[in-house]
Amino acid sequence: MRIAQVAPLVESVPPHGYGGTERVVSYLSEALVELGHDVTLFASGDSRTRARLVPVIPQGLRPQGREADWPIWTTLMLDRVFEEAASGAFDVIHLHVDVLHYPLARRCGTPCLTTLHGRQDIPGLADLYRRFTDQPLVSISDSQRRPVPEANWCATVYHGLPPDLYRHHAQAEGDYFSFVGRISPEKRVDRAIEIAIGCNMPLRIAAKVDHMDRVYFEERVRPLLSHPLIEFVGEIDEEHKGDFIGCSRALLFPIDWPEPFGLVVIEALACGTPVIAYPCGSVPEILRDGVDGWIVHDQQQAIDAARHIDRIARANCRASFEQRFTAATMARAYLEVYDRLRSGRCTIDAIGEHWNGGQDSHRQQVVRFRHLGAQRAESAGSQE
C-alpha cells in the first residue's frame, strides 16, 4: 500500500528530545515500512526515516524558537501533500496535524484519515466536527473522544513502541522515583514531589519547560526543587530515557487533566517500571490497577502505593507492553482502518473501538462496520 504520513513540523521525526506526536509518527512509519508498505513521510528535513522523506522545512520549528510559525509551514506542507495526491501518488493519506487540512481532505480523491493527538474538550470543536462529519477520525484512547461523540470516529488505536527500543529492567537498579515529560500545571510535578518526600525517596525529574509554562515553573515549581530529595535533570534524549525510567523504582504520573494517551506510561511499561497514576483521561484504559501499576485518587493513596510499589511485578509491566503496545500492533491496527477506508466503509462505534493485538483480557473488542452513507442517514435522523 502507498501511504502518506503527514507529521507536525514543530519537531523532527523522531524528535531529538520531547515530542510525543512526532515520536508516534516515527514509530508508525518505520513499522509500516517493516511490514512492506511504501511510505512517504512529510516532515522536517532533520527527520530520520526509512520511508521516502519529503522535507518541508530544513529543521523542526521548536529548536529554532519558531513554534508560532507552524500555520505558515503546515499550510505549505498540506499544499504539497494534496498536490502529490492529485497525481495518484497515494492509496491513503494519514494526517497527524490537527484540523487545518479538513477542507482540502474533503475535496481530495484519495482517502484521508486523521489521528487526533490532543485533548478534545475545547470550545468550538463540537461545531467543527458537526460541519466535517465526513472526515474519518481515529482517537488514541476511548476517553479522548468523549467530549465530541458526534465526530466521525472510526477507531481507537493505542500508541505503540518498537519492542527493542527500551531494555527490560528486571530490577530497579536505582533507588529513586522518576518523573518524565513536561513541566505544566496539568502534569502536576508538584504532586510527584509531594509523593516522593512522603516516602522519603529521591525523585529525579526529566522534563522540558515550554515558553508558555516558564512563569509557572519559576513561581510554583522552582521553589520545590530545593529539597534535598529532588533533582531536576531537565529534558533528556531518547538515548538516556530508557535507563532513566528503567532504573527507577516507579514512574510517577499524577496528572490532573484528561490525558489523551500518555506515551511515557507505555515507555515505563516497556522498561519494566511500574506506574503510579491518577485516573484521568486514558489512564484507566492503559494501566491495569494492581497488575502493572497503581491507580490512586488522592495523595495519601499515592504515597501508600509508592511505599508498596515492590508488590507490582516488573515482569508484568513488560508483558503488558509486549501484548498491547508494540509498534507492529499499532501499525496492523491502522492498516485495518486504511483497508476499510479504501473500500468505502467506516468503522462506527459510539463507545469506542480499540486495538491491542487481541491480548487484552479486560475488554472485548467490538468491531462494527457500516457504510458511511448509512451512518450519515442515521445521524441526520437523530437530529430531526
Q: What is the 3-state secondary structure (H, E, C) of 193-250?
A: HHHHHHCCCCEEEEEECCHHHHHHHHHHHHHHHHCCCEEECCCCCHHHHHHHHHCCCE
Q: What is the pLDDT of residue 68?
A: 87
DSSP secondary structure, 236-287, as one string: --HHHHHHHHHTSSEEEE---S--S--HHHHHHHHHT--EEE---TTHHHH-
pLDDT, block means (10 residues), the chain with 384 residues? 97 85 97 98 97 96 86 96 97 97 95 96 91 95 95 96 96 96 94 98 94 93 97 89 97 96 97 98 97 97 97 97 97 97 67 45 30 34 34
User: In one letter, which amino acid is 222?
Assistant: R
Whether 299 and 156 have beta carbons less than 8 Å apart is answered as: no
Phi, psi (degrees; rounded to nearest 5) at 6: -115, 110
The domains of the chain, with CATH numbers, are: 2-162+327-383 (3.40.50.2000), 177-324 (3.40.50.2000)
Q: What is the pLDDT of residue 211?
A: 85
Q: What is the pLDDT of residue 129?
A: 92
CB within 8 Å of 339: residues ≥ 6 apart:
none
Q: What is the pLDDT of residue 377?
A: 33
Whether 145 and 349 have beta carbons less than 8 Å apart is answered as: no
16, 14, 37, 23: which is closest to 331 by C-alpha?
37
Q: What is the pLDDT of residue 350?
A: 43
Q: What is the pLDDT of residue 374?
A: 34
45, 104, 270, 110: which is closest to 180 by C-alpha?
270
DSSP state at residue 132: T
The structure's pTM equals 0.87
User: In one letter, which amino acid is 170?
Assistant: A
> What cell was used for 379?
445521524
CA 368, CA 245: separation in Å to the nearest integer?
Answer: 39
Longest dimension (CA), the chain: 63
Q: What is the pLDDT of residue 345?
A: 66
DSSP state at residue 89: -
For cell 466536527, the residue is 129
